[in-house]
Structure 1
Amino acid sequence: MTRLLVLSDIHGNWPALQAVAAQTDLSRIDQIINCGDTTVYAPFANQALTWLADCRALSVLGNTDSKVRRLLRGRSFRKPGSAEKRIMYVHAAATLSGQNRQRLEVLRKTGRMQAEGRRIIVCHGSPARQDEFLYPGTPKKRYRELARMAKAEIILTGHTHEPQHKIVGGAHFLNPGSVGRMFDGNPAASYLILELGRKKIRAEFRRCAYDAELVAQELAQAGLPEIYAAMFRQGRKLN
């Protein structure tokens, strides 16, 4: 039996990630997997990236991470266009340590591994596009296309901030939800414990309360837009 801790969309929320780690018996976890968007919005990207590296997590690059990396390379991006949103990317890029800049630099958009004879692909949006949203209502035809493309039995994604387990085309599509920024009105971190055996796959979705007020206070201290503090407190997307 192989046990995986599957995370995604941490979004710089170290207090939430700490709470997940405290709630999980890491001694019983064989591999930590991170489906991307580790940076931007909460102001603790350094702590999150360092913890993932220390745990030897298999991490991939999310769409927000890609934009931060563009800034670090001296380039810009077109979307998001509003100053209220762009400042969050600029702040994340400006505050990354040299070591964590390098960690972000080497991340790839997809990762692969095997466990219990099963092929696993890790991506942010989908195996086809980093920014593709895979919702429960996404047509099954699209899931089948992606299953053929991925050539894997287990497809781990993030991006939607919505937990999901869908079996289509012989592939298990699993999304752990967001550790750092849920949008369902419950700020509690969302993550997945995935148990793999030769004959079974067991997905256990979990939620974990954390100190959202600490995030709000740090945002205020950094002089970042107040709307983000409200989002973390409420567990909602407000812009």
Structure 2
Amino acid sequence: MKILLLADIHSNFPALSAVGRAFAPATFEAVLNCGDSLVYAPFYNETVEWLRDHHAISILGNTDRKVIKLLKGKDFKKPSNKEKRMMYLRAAEELNTKNTTWLLGLKKEKKLKISGREIALYHGSPDDPDEFLFNTTPDARFLQLAEKMRRKGISIVVTGHSHTPYVKKLGGVWFINPGSTGRMFDGDPRLSCAVLQLTGAEVRVTPHRLEYDVEAVVKRLQQEGYPPVYKDMYRLGRKLN
């Protein structure tokens, strides 16, 4: 039983296309996406259509929630930086009707049962969608979360938000972050994702870093008049603003 894990795509359709070429998502039992599907790379509709076409089970991330606020005629305080705000405004302006409906239908978390195992998707953590969990987060914090998850019968937790891939088993619970499929911050511009395999009682997680057409993102950013800092972010795999 194979499951494809994605997170923090950030409208990077060229990266998603590379995932599709590498893995043939239709052969997986499920495609799970832990949110922040939108904002930063300028492929808003293409990204959502890829997720819809591959029947990805998706949840909301913090960038997605802010786009929803704009779609509902509301505003947000942060980010206040004009270079960042324009990304949210463009996403809200450019999403077509079908993709807007898809976004509005997403929830902050999702629980599902696959191959007899209870799996939960969160953007940040089971406690807070904006909490950052890193590979360096103390084990004590993961053990706190594991205790809560065990009480709910959940044995596998998949998160995003920190753009940091890791696999941990603590307190009898697996914690998996596939890293950012569209916007890595560790100095390696390659996309990040993971494959979860469930075979009887065995759980196996294989992280992947894949090359994709970064220059296609840079070209689109330049064509649409985005600030130059963004092309450097994608080329360097760094958060620069």
Same fold (TM over 0.5): yes
* Corresponding residue for residue 225 of structure 1: 227
Equivalent pairs counted in the alignment come to 238
Match of 1:144, SS?
helix
**Does 1:72 pair with 2:71?**
yes
Worse-superposed segment, 229-238 or 148-157: 148-157
**Does 1:199 pair with 2:204?**
no
Identity of aligned residues (%): 46
Structure 1 outlier segments of 4+, above 3 Å? none
Match of 1:186, SS?
coil
- In structure 2, runs of 5+ residues without a counterpart are none
Match of 2:209, SS?
strand
Taking structure 1 as the reference length, what is the TM-score of the superposition? 0.97
Output the CA distance in 2 between the equivalents of 1:165 and 1:65. Answer: 25
Instruction: Write out aligned runs for 1:175-194 (5 A).
Output: 175-194=177-196
* Corresponding residue for residue 158 of structure 2: 156
Output the CA distance in 2 between the equivalents of 1:147 and 1:66. Answer: 26
Instruction: Write out aligned runs for 1:124-163 (5 A).
Output: 124-150=123-149, 151=152, 152-163=154-165
Letter in 1 for 2:227: P
Letter in 1 for 2:199: G
* Corresponding residue for residue 18 of structure 1: 17
**Does 1:8 pair with 2:10?**
no
Output the CA distance in 1 between the equivalents of 2:145 and 2:43. Answer: 33
Deviation at 1:86, TM superposition (A): 0.8
Output the CA distance in 1 between the equivalents of 2:24 and 2:43. Answer: 23
Match of 1:40, SS?
coil
- Sort the Cα spacing of 1:156 and 1:30 in 2 relative to 1 into closer, same or farther, 3 A: same
2:169 to 154, 158, 167: 167
* Corresponding residue for residue 59 of structure 1: 58
* Corresponding residue for residue 121 of structure 2: 122
- In structure 1, runs of 5+ residues without a counterpart are none
Output the CA distance in 2 between the equivalents of 1:237 and 1:224. Answer: 16
Match of 1:147, SS?
helix
Instruction: Write out aligned runs for 1:72-91 (5 A).
Output: 72-91=71-90
The CA RMSD measured in Å over matched residues stands at 1.0
Deviation at 1:186, TM superposition (A): 1.2
Match of 2:118, SS?
strand
Give the conservation status (yes or no) of the 8 Å contact 2:135–2:165.
no
Taking structure 2 as the reference length, what is the TM-score of the superposition? 0.96
Match of 1:38, SS?
coil
